[in-house]
Chain A
Amino acid sequence: MPAPDIILQAQGLTKEFLGFIAVKNVNLAVKRGSIHALIGPNGAGKTTVFNLLTKFLTPSSGTIRFDGVDVTNEQPAVVARRGLVRSFQISATFPHLTVLENIRVALQRRAGLATQFWRSDKILRQLDERARELISDFNLDAYTDTPAVDLSYGRKRALEIATTLALEPTMLLLDEPMAGMGHEDIDRVVGLIRKAAVGRTILMVEHNLSVVSNLCDTITVLQRGEIIAEGDYATVSQDPRVREAYMGLEEA
Protein backbone atom coordinates (compact mmCIF):
# COMPACT_ATOMS: atom_id res chain seq x y z
CA MET A 1 0.00 0.00 0.00
CA PRO A 2 1.31 3.47 -0.81
CA ALA A 3 1.91 5.88 2.01
CA PRO A 4 -0.90 8.43 2.31
CA ASP A 5 1.28 11.28 1.07
CA ILE A 6 2.05 9.45 -2.17
CA ILE A 7 -0.55 10.54 -4.72
CA LEU A 8 0.66 8.63 -7.77
CA GLN A 9 2.49 5.37 -7.58
CA ALA A 10 3.69 3.17 -10.39
CA GLN A 11 5.11 -0.23 -9.59
CA GLY A 12 7.03 -2.50 -11.91
CA LEU A 13 5.81 -0.55 -14.95
CA THR A 14 6.94 -2.21 -18.17
CA LYS A 15 5.98 -1.53 -21.77
CA GLU A 16 7.05 -3.68 -24.63
CA PHE A 17 6.48 -2.85 -28.31
CA LEU A 18 6.86 -6.00 -30.41
CA GLY A 19 9.88 -7.19 -28.47
CA PHE A 20 11.39 -3.75 -27.91
CA ILE A 21 11.28 -2.87 -24.23
CA ALA A 22 10.61 0.86 -24.13
CA VAL A 23 10.06 1.03 -20.39
CA LYS A 24 11.49 -1.51 -17.99
CA ASN A 25 10.38 -2.09 -14.41
CA VAL A 26 9.86 1.56 -13.52
CA ASN A 27 8.92 2.31 -9.92
CA LEU A 28 7.80 5.85 -9.40
CA ALA A 29 6.24 7.54 -6.40
CA VAL A 30 5.08 11.14 -6.60
CA LYS A 31 4.51 12.96 -3.32
CA ARG A 32 1.32 14.92 -2.91
CA GLY A 33 1.87 18.64 -3.41
CA SER A 34 5.29 18.31 -5.00
CA ILE A 35 6.63 19.27 -8.41
CA HIS A 36 8.25 16.16 -9.74
CA ALA A 37 10.26 15.95 -12.96
CA LEU A 38 10.91 12.96 -15.12
CA ILE A 39 13.93 13.66 -17.27
CA GLY A 40 16.24 11.80 -19.56
CA PRO A 41 17.94 12.01 -22.94
CA ASN A 42 16.07 11.43 -26.20
CA GLY A 43 14.57 7.99 -26.47
CA ALA A 44 14.85 7.32 -22.74
CA GLY A 45 11.18 6.36 -22.58
CA LYS A 46 9.89 9.52 -20.90
CA THR A 47 6.93 9.98 -23.17
CA THR A 48 6.08 6.29 -22.99
CA VAL A 49 6.03 6.44 -19.18
CA PHE A 50 3.91 9.55 -19.47
CA ASN A 51 1.43 7.88 -21.80
CA LEU A 52 1.28 4.85 -19.52
CA LEU A 53 0.50 6.99 -16.49
CA THR A 54 -2.31 8.82 -18.31
CA LYS A 55 -3.60 5.56 -19.80
CA PHE A 56 -3.07 6.61 -23.40
CA LEU A 57 -1.00 3.41 -23.51
CA THR A 58 -1.66 0.16 -21.69
CA PRO A 59 1.27 -1.25 -19.70
CA SER A 60 2.55 -4.74 -20.54
CA SER A 61 2.91 -5.30 -16.81
CA GLY A 62 2.91 -3.34 -13.58
CA THR A 63 0.34 -1.33 -11.68
CA ILE A 64 -0.58 2.33 -11.36
CA ARG A 65 -2.36 3.72 -8.33
CA PHE A 66 -3.71 7.24 -8.23
CA ASP A 67 -5.02 8.71 -5.01
CA GLY A 68 -5.36 5.25 -3.46
CA VAL A 69 -7.25 3.75 -6.42
CA ASP A 70 -5.86 1.19 -8.83
CA VAL A 71 -6.26 2.82 -12.25
CA THR A 72 -4.15 0.34 -14.24
CA ASN A 73 -7.07 -0.85 -16.34
CA GLU A 74 -9.10 2.33 -16.62
CA GLN A 75 -9.91 4.34 -19.74
CA PRO A 76 -8.06 7.65 -20.19
CA ALA A 77 -11.22 9.74 -19.92
CA VAL A 78 -12.07 8.02 -16.62
CA VAL A 79 -8.63 8.75 -15.18
CA ALA A 80 -9.06 12.36 -16.26
CA ARG A 81 -12.39 12.53 -14.44
CA ARG A 82 -10.63 11.28 -11.30
CA GLY A 83 -8.50 14.41 -11.39
CA LEU A 84 -5.34 13.22 -13.10
CA VAL A 85 -5.12 15.45 -16.17
CA ARG A 86 -2.44 15.56 -18.82
CA SER A 87 -1.12 18.10 -21.27
CA PHE A 88 0.45 17.35 -24.63
CA GLN A 89 3.88 17.96 -26.07
CA ILE A 90 2.48 19.82 -29.04
CA SER A 91 0.22 22.50 -27.68
CA ALA A 92 -3.17 20.92 -27.46
CA THR A 93 -5.83 23.50 -28.04
CA PHE A 94 -8.98 23.38 -30.12
CA PRO A 95 -7.60 25.55 -32.94
CA HIS A 96 -10.82 26.87 -34.47
CA LEU A 97 -12.54 27.58 -31.19
CA THR A 98 -11.89 30.91 -29.48
CA VAL A 99 -9.88 31.17 -26.27
CA LEU A 100 -13.12 31.56 -24.34
CA GLU A 101 -14.68 28.54 -26.03
CA ASN A 102 -11.57 26.45 -25.41
CA ILE A 103 -11.85 27.03 -21.68
CA ARG A 104 -15.59 26.55 -21.70
CA VAL A 105 -15.18 23.10 -23.24
CA ALA A 106 -13.23 22.15 -20.13
CA LEU A 107 -15.87 23.67 -17.86
CA GLN A 108 -18.85 22.16 -19.65
CA ARG A 109 -18.54 18.61 -18.37
CA ARG A 110 -18.50 19.47 -14.70
CA ALA A 111 -21.32 21.95 -15.17
CA GLY A 112 -23.44 19.19 -16.72
CA LEU A 113 -23.68 21.13 -19.99
CA ALA A 114 -22.11 18.69 -22.38
CA THR A 115 -24.75 16.35 -23.74
CA GLN A 116 -27.74 18.66 -24.23
CA PHE A 117 -28.19 18.69 -27.99
CA TRP A 118 -31.62 20.26 -27.84
CA ARG A 119 -30.63 23.49 -26.06
CA SER A 120 -29.08 26.65 -27.40
CA ASP A 121 -25.39 27.15 -26.77
CA LYS A 122 -26.29 30.52 -25.28
CA ILE A 123 -26.76 28.59 -22.04
CA LEU A 124 -22.98 28.23 -21.95
CA ARG A 125 -22.71 31.92 -21.13
CA GLN A 126 -23.20 31.01 -17.50
CA LEU A 127 -19.67 29.56 -17.66
CA ASP A 128 -18.17 32.77 -19.00
CA GLU A 129 -17.48 34.31 -15.61
CA ARG A 130 -15.29 31.43 -14.44
CA ALA A 131 -13.69 31.19 -17.89
CA ARG A 132 -12.78 34.88 -17.88
CA GLU A 133 -11.18 34.53 -14.45
CA LEU A 134 -8.90 31.84 -15.80
CA ILE A 135 -8.21 33.90 -18.91
CA SER A 136 -7.15 36.82 -16.69
CA ASP A 137 -5.00 34.58 -14.52
CA PHE A 138 -2.98 33.75 -17.59
CA ASN A 139 -2.96 37.26 -19.08
CA LEU A 140 -4.98 36.29 -22.13
CA ASP A 141 -7.66 38.96 -21.69
CA ALA A 142 -6.89 40.63 -24.99
CA TYR A 143 -7.36 37.35 -26.83
CA THR A 144 -10.64 36.16 -25.33
CA ASP A 145 -12.38 36.00 -28.71
CA THR A 146 -9.37 35.03 -30.79
CA PRO A 147 -9.33 31.55 -32.30
CA ALA A 148 -6.63 29.51 -30.62
CA VAL A 149 -4.95 28.86 -33.96
CA ASP A 150 -3.99 32.55 -34.19
CA LEU A 151 -2.20 32.67 -30.82
CA SER A 152 1.59 32.71 -30.48
CA TYR A 153 3.27 29.55 -29.27
CA GLY A 154 3.72 30.80 -25.73
CA ARG A 155 0.11 31.92 -25.48
CA LYS A 156 -1.11 28.58 -26.77
CA ARG A 157 0.80 27.03 -23.88
CA ALA A 158 -0.81 29.46 -21.47
CA LEU A 159 -4.23 28.63 -22.90
CA GLU A 160 -3.56 24.95 -22.62
CA ILE A 161 -2.59 25.20 -18.97
CA ALA A 162 -5.55 27.47 -18.24
CA THR A 163 -7.85 24.94 -19.92
CA THR A 164 -6.35 22.14 -17.87
CA LEU A 165 -6.77 24.10 -14.65
CA ALA A 166 -10.42 24.71 -15.51
CA LEU A 167 -10.94 21.06 -14.64
CA GLU A 168 -9.59 21.75 -11.16
CA PRO A 169 -7.45 18.65 -11.32
CA THR A 170 -5.78 17.15 -8.26
CA MET A 171 -2.70 16.38 -10.28
CA LEU A 172 -1.23 17.64 -13.55
CA LEU A 173 0.97 15.73 -15.92
CA LEU A 174 2.85 18.03 -18.25
CA ASP A 175 4.55 16.58 -21.31
CA GLU A 176 7.63 18.68 -22.12
CA PRO A 177 6.00 22.04 -21.39
CA MET A 178 9.11 23.90 -22.55
CA ALA A 179 9.56 22.03 -25.83
CA GLY A 180 10.51 24.33 -28.68
CA MET A 181 10.71 27.50 -26.59
CA GLY A 182 13.18 30.33 -26.34
CA HIS A 183 14.62 31.59 -23.03
CA GLU A 184 12.04 34.33 -22.41
CA ASP A 185 9.23 31.89 -23.07
CA ILE A 186 10.76 29.33 -20.73
CA ASP A 187 10.75 31.83 -17.87
CA ARG A 188 7.16 32.60 -18.67
CA VAL A 189 6.12 28.95 -18.63
CA VAL A 190 8.07 28.31 -15.42
CA GLY A 191 5.95 31.08 -13.92
CA LEU A 192 2.77 29.46 -15.27
CA ILE A 193 3.74 26.11 -13.79
CA ARG A 194 4.47 27.64 -10.40
CA LYS A 195 1.08 29.29 -10.54
CA ALA A 196 -0.60 26.02 -11.47
CA ALA A 197 1.25 24.12 -8.73
CA VAL A 198 -0.47 25.93 -5.88
CA GLY A 199 -2.39 23.27 -3.99
CA ARG A 200 -1.65 20.66 -6.64
CA THR A 201 0.80 17.96 -7.55
CA ILE A 202 2.69 18.21 -10.81
CA LEU A 203 4.64 15.61 -12.68
CA MET A 204 6.42 16.97 -15.72
CA VAL A 205 8.45 15.27 -18.37
CA GLU A 206 11.40 17.33 -19.50
CA HIS A 207 14.33 16.92 -21.77
CA ASN A 208 16.57 19.53 -20.23
CA LEU A 209 18.03 19.05 -16.74
CA SER A 210 18.83 22.71 -16.09
CA VAL A 211 15.28 23.86 -16.84
CA VAL A 212 13.89 21.83 -13.99
CA SER A 213 16.75 22.60 -11.59
CA ASN A 214 15.03 25.28 -9.57
CA LEU A 215 11.47 24.35 -10.33
CA CYS A 216 11.20 20.77 -9.17
CA ASP A 217 11.39 19.18 -5.75
CA THR A 218 12.23 15.73 -6.99
CA ILE A 219 13.87 14.64 -10.21
CA THR A 220 13.76 11.14 -11.62
CA VAL A 221 16.24 10.35 -14.38
CA LEU A 222 15.33 7.79 -16.97
CA GLN A 223 17.70 6.18 -19.43
CA ARG A 224 16.94 3.42 -21.91
CA GLY A 225 13.64 2.78 -20.22
CA GLU A 226 15.08 2.41 -16.72
CA ILE A 227 15.39 4.72 -13.75
CA ILE A 228 19.05 5.48 -13.10
CA ALA A 229 18.80 8.15 -10.42
CA GLU A 230 16.30 9.99 -8.25
CA GLY A 231 16.48 12.85 -5.79
CA ASP A 232 16.75 16.62 -5.70
CA TYR A 233 18.76 18.53 -8.29
CA ALA A 234 21.99 18.53 -6.25
CA THR A 235 21.90 14.77 -5.78
CA VAL A 236 20.92 13.94 -9.33
CA SER A 237 23.33 16.30 -11.05
CA GLN A 238 26.26 14.80 -9.15
CA ASP A 239 25.32 11.24 -9.99
CA PRO A 240 28.02 9.78 -12.24
CA ARG A 241 25.53 7.76 -14.28
CA VAL A 242 23.43 10.85 -14.96
CA ARG A 243 26.54 12.81 -15.96
CA GLU A 244 27.53 10.01 -18.27
CA ALA A 245 24.08 9.82 -19.83
CA TYR A 246 24.03 13.53 -20.54
CA MET A 247 27.69 13.84 -21.51
CA GLY A 248 27.27 10.94 -23.85
CA LEU A 249 24.40 12.76 -25.44
CA GLU A 250 26.35 15.97 -25.80
CA GLU A 251 29.23 14.20 -27.51
CA ALA A 252 26.92 12.50 -29.95
Chain B
Amino acid sequence: MTATTVSAGPAGVRTNSETWGRFSAAGLVVLLLVAPLGIYPVFLMKLMCFALFAAAFNLLIGYVGLLSFGHAAFFGTGAYVSAHAAKVWHLDPLLCVVLGAVAGGFLGVLVGYLAIKRKGIYFSMITLALSQMVFFIALQAPFTGGEDGIQGVPRGMLFGVLDLNKPMAMYGFVLVLFLFGMFALWRIVNSPFGQILKAIREHEPRAISLGYDVQRYKLIAFTISAALAGMAGGAKSLVFQLASLTDITWQMSGEVVLITLLGGIGTMLGPVVGALIVVTLENYLAAMDFPVTVLIGAIFVACVLLFRRGVVGEIEHALRKRA
Protein backbone atom coordinates (compact mmCIF):
# COMPACT_ATOMS: atom_id res chain seq x y z
CA MET B 1 0.00 0.00 0.00
CA THR B 2 1.43 3.34 -0.90
CA ALA B 3 0.73 6.37 1.15
CA THR B 4 1.42 9.58 -0.62
CA THR B 5 -1.61 11.55 0.43
CA VAL B 6 0.30 13.97 2.56
CA SER B 7 2.43 16.47 0.79
CA ALA B 8 3.89 19.79 1.54
CA GLY B 9 2.68 22.16 -1.10
CA PRO B 10 4.56 25.21 -2.30
CA ALA B 11 5.35 27.77 0.40
CA GLY B 12 2.30 29.95 -0.14
CA VAL B 13 -0.05 27.02 -0.01
CA ARG B 14 1.67 25.63 3.02
CA THR B 15 1.25 28.81 4.96
CA ASN B 16 -2.44 28.55 4.19
CA SER B 17 -2.65 24.94 5.24
CA GLU B 18 -0.64 25.74 8.37
CA THR B 19 -3.18 28.37 9.31
CA TRP B 20 -5.94 25.97 8.41
CA GLY B 21 -4.28 23.29 10.55
CA ARG B 22 -4.08 25.58 13.57
CA PHE B 23 -7.63 26.68 13.06
CA SER B 24 -8.95 23.14 12.88
CA ALA B 25 -6.86 22.05 15.88
CA ALA B 26 -8.30 24.92 17.94
CA GLY B 27 -11.76 24.02 16.68
CA LEU B 28 -11.29 20.43 17.75
CA VAL B 29 -10.23 21.42 21.27
CA VAL B 30 -13.21 23.76 21.68
CA LEU B 31 -15.52 21.08 20.33
CA LEU B 32 -14.18 18.51 22.78
CA LEU B 33 -14.53 20.97 25.66
CA VAL B 34 -18.21 21.67 25.05
CA ALA B 35 -19.21 18.26 23.66
CA PRO B 36 -19.79 16.51 27.02
CA LEU B 37 -22.54 19.04 27.77
CA GLY B 38 -24.67 17.44 25.11
CA ILE B 39 -23.12 14.07 24.36
CA TYR B 40 -22.66 11.03 26.55
CA PRO B 41 -19.10 11.37 27.97
CA VAL B 42 -18.25 7.65 27.78
CA PHE B 43 -18.94 7.75 24.06
CA LEU B 44 -16.66 10.75 23.65
CA MET B 45 -13.95 9.11 25.72
CA LYS B 46 -14.16 5.97 23.61
CA LEU B 47 -13.91 8.17 20.55
CA MET B 48 -10.77 9.87 21.84
CA CYS B 49 -9.12 6.55 22.72
CA PHE B 50 -9.73 5.18 19.24
CA ALA B 51 -8.76 8.45 17.60
CA LEU B 52 -5.45 8.43 19.45
CA PHE B 53 -4.92 4.77 18.62
CA ALA B 54 -5.52 5.48 14.92
CA ALA B 55 -3.34 8.59 15.00
CA ALA B 56 -0.48 6.52 16.44
CA PHE B 57 -1.01 3.94 13.70
CA ASN B 58 -1.10 6.74 11.14
CA LEU B 59 2.41 7.83 12.13
CA LEU B 60 3.63 4.62 10.51
CA ILE B 61 1.40 4.30 7.48
CA GLY B 62 1.07 7.98 6.74
CA TYR B 63 4.55 9.27 7.43
CA VAL B 64 6.86 6.27 7.01
CA GLY B 65 4.77 4.20 4.59
CA LEU B 66 4.66 1.12 6.83
CA LEU B 67 1.37 -0.80 7.08
CA SER B 68 1.32 -2.50 10.46
CA PHE B 69 -1.36 -5.13 10.69
CA GLY B 70 -0.73 -5.91 14.32
CA HIS B 71 -1.32 -2.68 16.14
CA ALA B 72 -3.97 -4.23 18.38
CA ALA B 73 -1.10 -6.01 20.14
CA PHE B 74 0.18 -2.67 21.45
CA PHE B 75 -3.28 -1.28 22.17
CA GLY B 76 -4.28 -4.47 23.98
CA THR B 77 -1.02 -4.77 25.89
CA GLY B 78 -1.43 -1.20 27.06
CA ALA B 79 -4.98 -1.99 28.15
CA TYR B 80 -3.97 -5.13 30.09
CA VAL B 81 -0.95 -3.57 31.77
CA SER B 82 -2.86 -0.43 32.82
CA ALA B 83 -5.79 -2.50 34.07
CA HIS B 84 -3.48 -4.77 36.03
CA ALA B 85 -1.59 -1.82 37.52
CA ALA B 86 -4.84 -0.20 38.59
CA LYS B 87 -6.61 -3.27 39.91
CA VAL B 88 -3.78 -5.26 41.51
CA TRP B 89 -1.14 -2.68 42.29
CA HIS B 90 -3.58 0.19 43.02
CA LEU B 91 -1.32 2.72 41.32
CA ASP B 92 -2.21 6.28 40.42
CA PRO B 93 -4.32 6.32 37.22
CA LEU B 94 -1.79 8.47 35.38
CA LEU B 95 0.98 6.05 36.29
CA CYS B 96 -1.20 3.16 35.09
CA VAL B 97 -1.60 4.77 31.69
CA VAL B 98 2.13 5.58 31.54
CA LEU B 99 2.91 1.95 32.32
CA GLY B 100 0.54 0.92 29.53
CA ALA B 101 2.45 3.19 27.13
CA VAL B 102 5.81 1.84 28.31
CA ALA B 103 4.60 -1.74 27.84
CA GLY B 104 3.31 -0.92 24.37
CA GLY B 105 6.59 0.76 23.47
CA PHE B 106 8.65 -2.11 24.81
CA LEU B 107 6.65 -4.62 22.79
CA GLY B 108 6.99 -2.22 19.86
CA VAL B 109 10.79 -2.42 20.00
CA LEU B 110 10.64 -6.23 19.82
CA VAL B 111 8.01 -6.48 17.09
CA GLY B 112 9.44 -3.55 15.17
CA TYR B 113 12.96 -4.93 15.29
CA LEU B 114 11.80 -8.14 13.63
CA ALA B 115 9.29 -6.59 11.22
CA ILE B 116 11.30 -3.70 9.72
CA LYS B 117 13.79 -6.14 8.26
CA ARG B 118 11.13 -6.78 5.64
CA LYS B 119 9.15 -4.49 3.37
CA GLY B 120 5.65 -4.19 1.99
CA ILE B 121 3.27 -7.07 2.48
CA TYR B 122 5.96 -9.10 4.31
CA PHE B 123 6.26 -6.37 6.89
CA SER B 124 2.48 -6.43 7.39
CA MET B 125 2.42 -10.22 7.65
CA ILE B 126 5.15 -10.28 10.30
CA THR B 127 3.33 -7.69 12.39
CA LEU B 128 0.13 -9.75 12.04
CA ALA B 129 1.87 -12.99 13.02
CA LEU B 130 3.59 -11.47 16.04
CA SER B 131 0.39 -9.78 17.20
CA GLN B 132 -1.37 -13.15 17.00
CA MET B 133 1.33 -14.53 19.28
CA VAL B 134 0.61 -11.72 21.72
CA PHE B 135 -3.09 -12.57 21.46
CA PHE B 136 -2.46 -16.18 22.46
CA ILE B 137 -0.27 -15.08 25.33
CA ALA B 138 -3.11 -12.83 26.50
CA LEU B 139 -5.49 -15.77 26.20
CA GLN B 140 -3.29 -18.13 28.25
CA ALA B 141 -1.37 -15.94 30.69
CA PRO B 142 -2.63 -16.04 34.29
CA PHE B 143 -2.85 -12.29 34.89
CA THR B 144 -5.05 -11.42 31.89
CA GLY B 145 -8.07 -13.34 33.07
CA GLY B 146 -8.35 -15.37 29.86
CA GLU B 147 -11.79 -15.14 28.24
CA ASP B 148 -13.08 -12.88 31.01
CA GLY B 149 -10.39 -10.26 30.71
CA ILE B 150 -9.67 -7.94 33.61
CA GLN B 151 -13.03 -6.65 34.83
CA GLY B 152 -13.99 -4.05 37.38
CA VAL B 153 -10.84 -1.99 36.91
CA PRO B 154 -10.95 0.89 39.41
CA ARG B 155 -10.54 4.33 37.89
CA GLY B 156 -8.95 5.53 41.11
CA MET B 157 -8.02 8.96 42.40
CA LEU B 158 -5.81 11.05 40.13
CA PHE B 159 -2.82 12.29 42.18
CA GLY B 160 -4.76 11.06 45.20
CA VAL B 161 -7.22 13.96 45.01
CA LEU B 162 -9.33 13.87 41.87
CA ASP B 163 -11.96 11.12 41.90
CA LEU B 164 -12.10 9.75 38.37
CA ASN B 165 -15.39 7.98 39.06
CA LYS B 166 -17.00 11.35 38.43
CA PRO B 167 -17.70 11.34 34.69
CA MET B 168 -16.47 14.89 34.10
CA ALA B 169 -13.21 14.29 35.95
CA MET B 170 -12.59 11.16 33.91
CA TYR B 171 -13.50 13.04 30.79
CA GLY B 172 -10.98 15.78 31.58
CA PHE B 173 -8.30 13.18 32.27
CA VAL B 174 -8.85 11.40 28.95
CA LEU B 175 -9.04 14.72 27.11
CA VAL B 176 -5.63 15.74 28.49
CA LEU B 177 -4.15 12.35 27.54
CA PHE B 178 -5.66 12.61 24.07
CA LEU B 179 -4.39 16.14 23.49
CA PHE B 180 -0.96 15.19 24.78
CA GLY B 181 -0.79 12.24 22.38
CA MET B 182 -1.99 14.28 19.42
CA PHE B 183 0.45 17.06 20.22
CA ALA B 184 3.31 14.57 20.48
CA LEU B 185 2.44 13.14 17.07
CA TRP B 186 2.09 16.57 15.53
CA ARG B 187 5.46 17.55 16.94
CA ILE B 188 7.13 14.39 15.63
CA VAL B 189 5.69 14.75 12.16
CA ASN B 190 6.82 18.38 12.00
CA SER B 191 10.30 17.82 13.39
CA PRO B 192 13.72 17.26 11.81
CA PHE B 193 13.15 13.55 12.46
CA GLY B 194 9.73 13.70 10.79
CA GLN B 195 11.35 15.22 7.72
CA ILE B 196 13.67 12.20 7.43
CA LEU B 197 10.69 9.85 7.90
CA LYS B 198 8.94 11.53 4.99
CA ALA B 199 12.09 11.21 2.90
CA ILE B 200 12.20 7.48 3.67
CA ARG B 201 8.55 7.14 2.72
CA GLU B 202 9.13 9.00 -0.53
CA HIS B 203 12.25 7.20 -1.70
CA GLU B 204 13.91 4.75 0.65
CA PRO B 205 16.97 3.80 -1.49
CA ARG B 206 17.71 7.48 -1.96
CA ALA B 207 17.56 8.08 1.79
CA ILE B 208 20.04 5.20 2.22
CA SER B 209 22.30 6.66 -0.43
CA LEU B 210 22.32 9.93 1.49
CA GLY B 211 23.79 8.00 4.41
CA TYR B 212 20.70 7.49 6.53
CA ASP B 213 20.40 4.33 8.54
CA VAL B 214 16.73 3.90 7.59
CA GLN B 215 16.20 0.85 9.79
CA ARG B 216 17.00 2.93 12.84
CA TYR B 217 14.55 5.64 11.85
CA LYS B 218 11.84 3.11 11.17
CA LEU B 219 12.41 1.42 14.51
CA ILE B 220 12.21 4.71 16.41
CA ALA B 221 8.96 5.58 14.62
CA PHE B 222 7.58 2.09 15.22
CA THR B 223 8.37 2.29 18.93
CA ILE B 224 6.79 5.71 19.35
CA SER B 225 3.70 4.54 17.48
CA ALA B 226 3.44 1.41 19.63
CA ALA B 227 3.88 3.39 22.85
CA LEU B 228 1.10 5.82 21.93
CA ALA B 229 -1.13 2.92 20.91
CA GLY B 230 -0.39 1.41 24.34
CA MET B 231 -1.33 4.70 25.97
CA ALA B 232 -4.62 4.75 24.07
CA GLY B 233 -5.29 1.17 25.22
CA GLY B 234 -4.46 2.07 28.81
CA ALA B 235 -6.84 5.01 28.77
CA LYS B 236 -9.53 2.83 27.22
CA SER B 237 -9.21 0.21 29.99
CA LEU B 238 -9.76 2.88 32.65
CA VAL B 239 -12.72 4.40 30.78
CA PHE B 240 -14.54 1.08 30.42
CA GLN B 241 -12.99 -0.39 33.55
CA LEU B 242 -12.24 -3.41 31.41
CA ALA B 243 -9.37 -4.93 29.47
CA SER B 244 -10.44 -7.84 27.34
CA LEU B 245 -9.42 -10.07 24.46
CA THR B 246 -11.41 -7.83 22.08
CA ASP B 247 -8.73 -5.18 22.52
CA ILE B 248 -6.03 -7.46 21.20
CA THR B 249 -7.69 -9.39 18.36
CA TRP B 250 -6.67 -9.02 14.73
CA GLN B 251 -10.11 -7.53 14.09
CA MET B 252 -9.02 -4.61 16.23
CA SER B 253 -5.88 -4.26 14.09
CA GLY B 254 -8.14 -4.22 11.05
CA GLU B 255 -10.42 -1.65 12.59
CA VAL B 256 -7.60 0.81 13.13
CA VAL B 257 -6.56 0.39 9.48
CA LEU B 258 -10.15 1.13 8.47
CA ILE B 259 -10.48 4.17 10.74
CA THR B 260 -7.28 5.68 9.38
CA LEU B 261 -8.09 4.91 5.76
CA LEU B 262 -11.57 6.35 6.10
CA GLY B 263 -10.40 9.54 7.78
CA GLY B 264 -7.36 10.07 5.59
CA ILE B 265 -3.93 8.50 5.70
CA GLY B 266 -1.12 10.94 6.38
CA THR B 267 -3.34 13.74 7.68
CA MET B 268 -3.31 14.92 11.29
CA LEU B 269 -7.10 15.02 11.71
CA GLY B 270 -7.94 12.05 9.51
CA PRO B 271 -7.74 9.45 12.29
CA VAL B 272 -10.00 11.60 14.49
CA VAL B 273 -12.65 11.93 11.80
CA GLY B 274 -12.32 8.24 10.94
CA ALA B 275 -12.78 7.30 14.58
CA LEU B 276 -15.81 9.55 14.80
CA ILE B 277 -17.44 7.77 11.86
CA VAL B 278 -16.62 4.21 12.90
CA VAL B 279 -17.26 4.59 16.63
CA THR B 280 -20.55 6.39 16.00
CA LEU B 281 -21.73 3.70 13.63
CA GLU B 282 -20.76 0.95 16.02
CA ASN B 283 -22.42 2.61 18.95
CA TYR B 284 -25.71 3.52 17.31
CA LEU B 285 -26.05 0.37 15.29
CA ALA B 286 -25.08 -1.91 18.16
CA ALA B 287 -28.67 -1.99 19.41
CA MET B 288 -30.11 -2.83 16.01
CA ASP B 289 -30.36 -6.22 14.38
CA PHE B 290 -28.55 -5.01 11.30
CA PRO B 291 -24.98 -6.34 11.38
CA VAL B 292 -22.56 -3.42 11.81
CA THR B 293 -19.74 -5.23 10.05
CA VAL B 294 -21.71 -5.40 6.81
CA LEU B 295 -22.30 -1.66 6.83
CA ILE B 296 -18.72 -0.88 7.77
CA GLY B 297 -17.53 -3.20 5.03
CA ALA B 298 -19.73 -1.37 2.53
CA ILE B 299 -18.36 1.99 3.69
CA PHE B 300 -14.84 0.64 3.35
CA VAL B 301 -15.52 -0.42 -0.25
CA ALA B 302 -17.07 2.96 -1.03
CA CYS B 303 -14.06 4.71 0.49
CA VAL B 304 -11.59 2.73 -1.61
CA LEU B 305 -13.63 3.25 -4.79
CA LEU B 306 -14.76 6.84 -4.39
CA PHE B 307 -12.55 8.78 -2.01
CA ARG B 308 -9.21 7.12 -1.61
CA ARG B 309 -7.64 9.99 0.24
CA GLY B 310 -10.17 9.61 3.02
CA VAL B 311 -12.52 12.31 4.28
CA VAL B 312 -9.86 14.73 5.55
CA GLY B 313 -7.48 13.85 2.73
CA GLU B 314 -10.10 14.76 0.12
CA ILE B 315 -10.92 18.03 1.87
CA GLU B 316 -7.25 18.99 2.07
CA HIS B 317 -6.77 18.05 -1.55
CA ALA B 318 -9.72 20.20 -2.61
CA LEU B 319 -8.40 23.15 -0.56
CA ARG B 320 -4.95 22.80 -2.07
CA LYS B 321 -6.34 22.69 -5.58
CA ARG B 322 -8.32 25.84 -4.98
CA ALA B 323 -5.28 27.65 -3.58
Q: CB of A147 within 8 A of chain B?
A: yes
Q: Is B203 an interface residue (CB 8 A)?
A: yes
Q: 1/0 contact trace for B190-226 toward A, CB 8 Å?
A: 1111111011001101111111111001001000100
Chain A contacts with B in 213-233, Cβ cutoff 8 A? none
Interface residues of A in 98-147 (CB under 8 A from B): 98, 101, 104-106, 108-109, 113-121, 123-124, 145-147
Q: Given contacts A117-B187, A118-B191, are A96 and B6 in contact (CB under 8 A)? A: yes
- A105-B196 contact given A117-B220, A120-B187, CB 8 Å threshold: yes
What's the Cα separation between A96 and B200 when bound, in Å? 12
Q: Is the interface of A mostly helix, strand, loop or mixed?
A: loop
Q: Which residues of A contact B39 (CB under 8 A)?
A: none
Residue contact B206 to A93, C-beta cutoff 8 Å? yes
Q: How far in angstroms is the closest Cβ of chain A from B87?
A: 33
Interface size bracket, A side = 35 or more
Instruction: Tell me whether B9 is interfacial, beta carbon within 8 Å.
Output: yes
CB nearest to A163 among chain B residues: B210
Are B206 and A80 interface neighbours, CB within 8 A? no
A96 near B212 with CB under 8 A, answer no
By a CB distance below 8 angstroms, the chain A residues around B224 are 117
Q: Which of A96, A115, A167 contacts B210 (CB 8 A)?
A: A167
What separation, in Å, do the CA atoms of A145 and B11 have in the docked complex? 6
- Taking CB atoms and an 8 Å cut-off, the chain A residues in 79-94 that contact chain B are 80-81, 85-88, 92-94
Task: Indicate which residue in A95, A109, A123 contacts B212 across the interface (CB closer than 8 Å).
Answer: A109
**Once the chains are docked, how many angstroms separate the CA of A145 from the CA of B7?**
12
* Contact of A106 with B210 in the complex, beta carbons under 8 Å: yes
Task: From known contacts A77-B208, A105-B195, A124-B192, infer whether A115 and B220 are also in contact, taking CB-CB under 8 Å.
Answer: yes
Q: Which of A95, A97, A117, A146 has the most CB of B within 10 A?
A: A117
A75–B4 CA distance with the chains assembled, in angstroms: 28
Within 8 Å by CB of B4, from A96, A108, A114, A120, lies A96
Q: In the assembly, what is the distance between CA of A86 and CA of B209, in Å? A: 6
Contacts of A119 in B (CB 8 A): 191-192
Cα of A146 to Cα of B9 in the assembled complex, Å: 7
Count B-side interface residues using an 8 Å CB cutoff.
Answer: 34
Q: How far is the CA of A101 from the CA of B194 in the complex (A)?
A: 12
Q: Which of B11, B194, B205, B213 contacts A88 (CB 8 A)?
A: B205
Cα(A163)–Cα(B202), bound, Å: 15
- Inter-chain CA distance A86–B202, complex, in Å, is 17
**B211-A109 in contact (CB<8A):** yes
- Minimum CB–CB distance from A98 to chain B (whole Å) comes to 6
Contact partner of B191 among A54, A76, A81, A120, CB < 8 A? A120
Are B192 and A115 in contact, with the CB atoms below 8 A? yes
> Could you pull out 11 A-B pairs where Cβ atoms are within 8 angstroms?
A54-B209, A76-B209, A77-B211, A77-B213, A80-B210, A98-B8, A108-B196, A113-B192, A117-B188, A120-B187, A167-B211
By Cβ-Cβ distance, the 9 closest A-B pairs, closest first, are A96-B7, A117-B193, A80-B211, A94-B202, A145-B11, A92-B206, A81-B211, A113-B192, A145-B10
Sample of 11 more A-B contacts, CB < 8 Å, known A96-B198, A115-B220: A76-B208, A77-B211, A92-B203, A92-B206, A95-B203, A97-B195, A105-B196, A115-B192, A117-B220, A120-B190, A120-B191
